[in-house]
Amino acid sequence: MSSQYKVNRARWDSEYIQALRRHLGLTQRELAERLGTRQQTISEWETGMYKPRGASATLLSIIAERAEFKYQAIPSKKQPEKP
C-alpha cells in the first residue's frame, strides 16, 4: 500500500508545535479538532509534558507541509562557558 504523501517526519518539540499552530492562526482547541484529539493534549505537547507520536506526529507533518511551514529554531541564549 503506497502513501499519497511522502512525509518528512520532523522532531516535534514544544516550540515547533506552538510555532506551527500560530503559523496556522489556530487556537489549541482548533488544532486539536483538526487532529482528532483533545485541547489538553495540544497543551501538554506545547508545554513539553509529552511529545506527539505515531499518527499524530505524521498528521502534524502533513499539516506543516501543506501550510508550507518552515520552522527556524531561535538559538537559546546560553551563558558562555568559562575556560
In the CATH scheme, what is the code of domain 14-66?
Answer: 1.10.260.40
Burial class (CB in 10 A: 0-12, 13-18, 19+), 41: middle
Identify which of 73, 36, 30, 26 has the alpha carbon closest to the alpha carbon of residue 58: 36
Largest CA distance in the chain: 56
Tens-place pLDDT, residues 14-62 = 999 999 999 999 999 999 999 999 999 999 999 999 999 999 999 999 9
Q: Which residue ranges make up each domain of the chain?
A: 14-66
Tens-place pLDDT, residues 3-14 = 554 555 568 999
Q: What are the backbone angles phi and psi of residue 67, rounded to the nearest 5°? A: -85, 5
